[in-house]
Chains A and B, each alone.
Chain A
Amino acid sequence: MSRTRTAEETKTAMHKVVAEMYDRIVKGEPPTMTLPVRTKTNIGFDKKLGVYKYGKKQSVRDATSLGSAKQLLRTLHVVEFIEEMLDAGKSSTLREMYYISEGWGMGKFGSQNDSNNLAEDLEIVTKCLREDFKLRPEEDGARMIGNLTLRERNRRGEWMRINARDDVGDSGYGVPYNVELEKIELLEHDIDFIMAIETGGMFDRLIENGFDEQYRCGLLHLKGQPARSTRRIMKRMSEEWDLPVVVFLDGDPWSFRIFASIAYGAIKTAHISEYLATPSATYLGITADDIVAYELPSDDLSKKDVEALNAELTDPRFADSWWQEQINMMLELGKKAEQQSLAKYGLDFVTETYLPEKLAELGLA
């Protein structure tokens, strides 16, 4: 499933945005840019796609305040910049674009965050992907280890066959920023499921303990909030190989959010949820009941943690009863625990006791 557009299609889509501004000025009105509201109040479950998508709420960015007007001007500069790249067959990172904006005078970005958000805005309004815009993220993708084989086209345009167990070192196979068909082909595997892991320490622990071979799984290091390419490759493996995905995270409100972005779609990228989210993914742990059941060493929830949990209670993605129960339980406990707190019972406890027990509940071990 590729949604890649041609340069001409991308330009046409961007011109629509520009034309909205232009036409408003011609009509004697302040120029505007219309885009969906990008908060949790405007995401809803799309039954057909099985993920959360932006709803119908639209916000209009109009040039009646200096901030919005500057944002519109920046958008025009970005459009122009993308057109130039499309014409020249080049690409740039978001960070490079941020620095290039230094030359845009009044249209320059205030911060890197500004430029990232604007690129997303443009994706949403044009229904293009940033790959279509030839914009690359700075963040690197995940690491993978396990008996699975794929084909990657390298810089010289040659296809390389890579087995993520036999052809890689201890750091595993590095997932590139582009994991679309023109770059990556999934060939074959001999595993039963994929396990996504939040922290590098836990990822390395499972490798050292030989967990991937013992339990016939592919291990994937998320590196915190997973990059788009990480989520995309999980989705592809899950769909193309029909593999279950389990997610093993810390037990805190932020981990819940990571899971939501993997399984249901992130609020910021709800315009492409069907492309990034893996609806079949399962939350393995650490759950609120794990903290109690395993008597894990825990920390008190901070004020911010509590705020985040409360916000999650009203987030439509956590509306089901299991999540409500987990969130409320954590609030009641007032505690959170890290993955590595399992080491309380020794280095092998996680691979010999905790994970087997949790996987057994899911029928995976």
Chain B
Amino acid sequence: MTGIAQKLASNQKQVAISEFFEKNKHFLGFDSLARSLITAVKEAVDNALDACEEARILPTIRIQITKVDAQKDIIRMIVEDNGPGIPQKSIEKVFGQLLFGSRFHAIRQSRGQQGIGITGVVMYCQLTTGRTTHVRSKIATEPTAAFVDIGLDTRKNKATKANAGREIWYNEDGTGKEHGTEVTAEMKAKYQKGRQSVWQYLRMTSIVNPHAEIIFTDPDGERHHWTRVTERLPTKVESIKPHPHGIELGQLQRMIAESNDLNLNHFLLNNFSGVTNRARKELCEAADIAGTRKIKTVKGDDIRHLLEAFQGERVYNGLPVKLLKPPTNCLSPIEELLIKKGLSKTIDSRFVSTLTRVPSVTQGNPFQIEVGLIFGGAMAADKPVEILRFANRVPLMYQQGGCLLTKAIESVDWRQYGLDQAGGRGVPKGPAAILVHLASTNVQFTSEAKEALADNAEVMEEGRKAMLEMGRGLRKHLEKKKKMAKTKEKFELINDILPAIAKKSAEILERPVPELSGSITKIMSAVICETTTEWNKQTKHTDVEIILFNYTSRVRAYTILATWPEKSGAKIEKNGTGGRKEALGVWAWKLESLQPGEKKVIAYSLSGLERGDWTETEVLFRGTQDVIGATKMDEKFLQEIRRQEQIMDENGVDSPEAEDEDEVVAEPEPEKKEVPKMPAEEMVEPTVAPPEGQRTLFGGDD
């Protein structure tokens, strides 16, 4: 919201709403009739998802689009959720007030970084159709739902409300609705199909919100149902304070102006992440301001000097002041398994690989890249792959070519991983879809339209690394498929064809059927590994069975290693063959001797997973003789796992101040966001209590 807020803040005149809209419609998301509808749906659905997430409710969202007047392009949108609901007195504030600036202090990953929220939709409807937006909402503690029509007075630039009342809210099946919100809006808009459509937006939303159930009824009356594939809500994100590396002058000025801190020392320690006591001292010296200066007296050039100290332009002892990295627990990645589920439920395919990189930092802002690749199945093999871009779980549907996430995909030579790509550049072709998600506290866009991510070397590098790793996974999968086909052939040979040859030749010669084991050993002349990974309905576990056959004439010895999703919380159970943990998500068993003709079975179950979470176990081996059906252990692979493990452990340590040596000033506890007692209140918190000195579009303070 920063961009719009600043624009408005710098404008002393009261802005006429219609003029404001007309001037800014391209970045408000209302620049075309088709896009306006998507934006409206997006704002309503984002609100619903956010409210449910805050209240820890598994969302069920119904969206209905109907054509009211096809000739005049009037469309009605109804979005209903099962969120906590909004108390009656807050409804008009949520829907009728445009507020900016409230989130400056709350640095965290949030959906609401785009557009101006649902208020924009109310404005758009009023301006294009002259109609108000009908809102109905019910909270669990009240017996009835509140309803009201929200509009705006374009002459006075004020929000209006009318026809307020209360009613009993019945569900379709006649039962009473417990809680939720429903928005009915009529606007000038066009419903269209294809890559840039409401359908695509909802489909993408469902991929990255696997915990949500989304039911969409399109203008033709057709129902699209994206089911909920996990009961797990996204992890609750912690707010963090801004990091000095990521701050701009205007923001610093505002923070200082609003500060209640005693002096600069307190201000620096209380309001920033990554500033230790040592750093606090050094920053003051670099900025050439006494730490004991009253904060109200820090003005003008002082602020600029402080910013220069933040950015390392002013130095301490000839060096920029060292700051700790910001904590990364403010990010809420979707996580590998859930992306996998989201993709699998939406796109029919044969292979899904997902990857969540460990968090990283750019310009004081923590970020994290997640990627997913889905391959095979019904997707077209001769078309460019489908690219699914997301920023903080919000689908990006426009300006694909100019987006950093697309560039990260294009920077990889996909030919080595089994996809077509002319000249090894550009968007690859093949039966695949590639998902990229950037989770960040500060998503940088190329323009106010907020549809394409701006270039950033660190984010690009992370994205590229993720692609490479995923590409390797795809290649391995394709190689494995080939090998499996070969192994299958061999098994057909020894299980079906060879016995038939023995039987038939014996019949023709009228001799006894010969014993086959000798021939089988000679034909296979290999150690073969067969792996099955299956969901067990009874135990709700994932059963894994690794079978090794020694079809050679010698005794063999191996260490067999198998992957399991430890990161996602899976535990190995009923592992009768013992072994030990080799690394994060890698278990190892030592097979001292596998006699010629011997078969050994390693069987275990994985608990803590849902159906479909884990469908393919990768089996690796250490040993001299090749094992068909398993991959030779690449020790680099283990090193990489251990490296990631280490990074994760480091991130797990919550106190960045640990390395601090001197204890002069008592460290204030990092301010943790309180879990709200009233979820409904919490959801509207930013709009209910606008900080002093800030204004709304609806009735400014002039």
A residues neighboring B (CB under 8 Å): 15, 18-19, 21-22, 24-31, 63-66, 69-70, 72-73, 76-77, 79-80, 83, 105-107
Contact = CB atoms under 8 A, between A and B. Distances in A.
Chain B interface residue number, banded:
20 to 34
Nearest to B492: A66
B508 interface: yes
Interface of B is mostly: helix
A50 B492 CA distance: 47
A79 B505 CA distance: 10
B591 interface: no
21 contacts: A22-B505, A22-B511, A25-B498, A25-B501, A25-B502, A25-B516, A27-B518, A29-B518, A31-B498, A31-B501, A63-B523, A66-B493, A66-B497, A69-B498, A70-B497, A73-B500, A76-B504, A76-B505, A77-B504, A80-B504, A80-B507
B353 to A, nearest CB: 30
A22 B493 contact: no
Given A22-B509, A22-B511, A80-B508, A29 B500 contact: no
A72 B515 CA distance: 18
B220 interface: no
Q: Which of A26, A29, A80, A105: most chain B Cβ within 10 A?
A: A26
Given A22-B514, A31-B502, 17 more contacts: A15-B509, A18-B505, A18-B508, A21-B501, A21-B505, A25-B498, A31-B498, A31-B501, A63-B497, A66-B492, A73-B500, A76-B505, A76-B508, A80-B508, A83-B508, A105-B500, A106-B496
B497 A76 contact: no
B532 interface: no
A66 B516 CA distance: 16
Given A15-B508, A18-B508, A76-B508, A66 B490 contact: yes
Contacts of A73: 497, 500-501, 504
A25 B504 contact: no
B532 to A, nearest CB: 22
B519 A30 contact: yes
Contacts of B519: 24-25, 28-31, 63
A22 B500 contact: no
Nearest to A66: B489
Contacts of B196: none
B26 interface: no
B506 interface: yes
A64 B505 contact: no
A72 B518 contact: no
Contacts of B505: 18-19, 21-22, 25, 31, 76
A106 B514 contact: no
Given A106-B496, A106-B500, A22 B506 contact: yes
Nearest to B512: A26
A27 B521 CA distance: 12
B383 interface: no
B522 interface: yes
A71 to B, nearest CB: 10
A106 B518 contact: no
B346 interface: no
A191 B504 CA distance: 54
Contacts of B497: 63, 66, 69-70, 73, 106
B129 interface: no
Interface in B513-553: 514-519, 521-523
A63 B500 CA distance: 12
A26 B514 contact: yes
B258 to A, nearest CB: 77
B501 A69 contact: yes
B523 A64 contact: yes
Nearest to A20: B505
Contact of B501 (A15, A19, A28, A76): A76
B522 A29 contact: yes
A28 to B, nearest CB: 2
Given A63-B497, A72-B501, A107-B500, A28 B508 contact: no
A21 B501 CA distance: 8
Contacts of B498: 25, 31, 63, 69
Contacts of B516: 25
Contacts of A106: 496-497, 500
A70 B501 CA distance: 9
B421 to A, nearest CB: 30
**Among A30, A31, A63: residue with most chain B CB under 10 A:** A30
Contacts of A107: 500, 504
Given A19-B509, A63-B497, A83-B508, A28 B517 contact: yes
Nearest to B489: A66
Contacts of B489: 65-66
Contacts of B521: 28
Contacts of B506: 22
A19 B506 CA distance: 9
Cβ-closest 10 pairs across A and B: A28-B518, A76-B504, A22-B505, A66-B489, A69-B497, A25-B514, A26-B514, A18-B508, A30-B523, A66-B493
B517 to A, nearest CB: 7
A228 to B, nearest CB: 27
A72 B503 CA distance: 12
B490 to A, nearest CB: 7
Nearest to A67: B489
Nearest to A64: B523
A41 B498 CA distance: 32
Q: Which of B505, B506, B519 has the most CB of A within 10 A?
A: B505
A30 B522 contact: yes
Nearest to B486: A66
B508 A79 contact: yes
A70 B492 CA distance: 10
A217 to B, nearest CB: 50
In the complex, which of the residues A27, A69, A80, A107 has the most CB atoms of chain B within 10 Å of its own CB atom? A69
B524 to A, nearest CB: 9
A77 B507 CA distance: 11
Contacts of A27: 518
A28 B504 CA distance: 17
A342 B523 CA distance: 60
A117 to B, nearest CB: 19
B68 to A, nearest CB: 63
Interface centre among B492, B500, B506 (most CB of A within 10 A): B500
A76 B508 CA distance: 8
A72 B501 CA distance: 7
Interface string B170-214: 000000000000000000000000000000000000000000000
A28 B489 CA distance: 20
Contacts of A25: 498, 501-502, 505, 514-516, 518-519
A182 to B, nearest CB: 28
A219 B507 CA distance: 50
A181 to B, nearest CB: 31
Contacts of B504: 73, 76-77, 80, 107
A103 B546 CA distance: 37
Contacts of B511: 22
Contacts of A31: 498, 501-502, 505, 519
A198 to B, nearest CB: 43
Interface string B569-600: 00000000000000000000000000000000
B418 to A, nearest CB: 24
A244 to B, nearest CB: 47
A24 B517 CA distance: 12
A27 B589 CA distance: 36
Among B511, B519, B522: residue with most chain A CB under 10 A? B519
Contacts of A29: 518-519, 522
A47 to B, nearest CB: 38
A72 B519 CA distance: 14
A72 B523 CA distance: 14
B39 to A, nearest CB: 58
Contacts of A15: 508-509
A345 B208 CA distance: 80
A315 B502 CA distance: 40
